[in-house]
Amino acid sequence: MFFVYAIPPAEMTGVTEIAGLAAGKAFGPKAESVISILISFALISSLSAFIILGPRVYYSMTKEGYFFAFAAKSSSQVQSAGWRYFTAKFDCDCTCFVWDF
């Protein structure tokens, strides 16, 4: 609701950083950049969590038969989950690519 009260709907057209614009209108231009930076850090940290937790989720899904069988294999030399990390990275890349449009 803060966005609607701080910015008229006509000014929201074509703006990608609505939260920053609303903070700028309500608290000044410094608040606009601070809020935009905080939101970008929050998005980066959630992406990092997705990359860390994704392989574990893929492994569990594979063991229950809901994901591709190659995701359950581990490297014999170092016992790492290489395919699962690659799959999680690929999934994150696809998500970022799709959301970029």
The domain ranges of the chain are 2-99
For every residue of 22-33, DSSP letters joined together read HHHHHH-HHHHH
**Local structure of residue 8 (DSSP, 8 states):** -
Q: Look-up: residue for tokens 């903070």?
A: 23
- 91 burial level (CB within 10 Å; 0-12, 13-18, 19+): middle
Query: What are the pLDDT digits (tens) for 7-52?
Result: 888 888 888 888 888 888 889 989 889 988 998 888 888 777 777 7
Which comes out higher in pLDDT, residue 79 or 66?
66
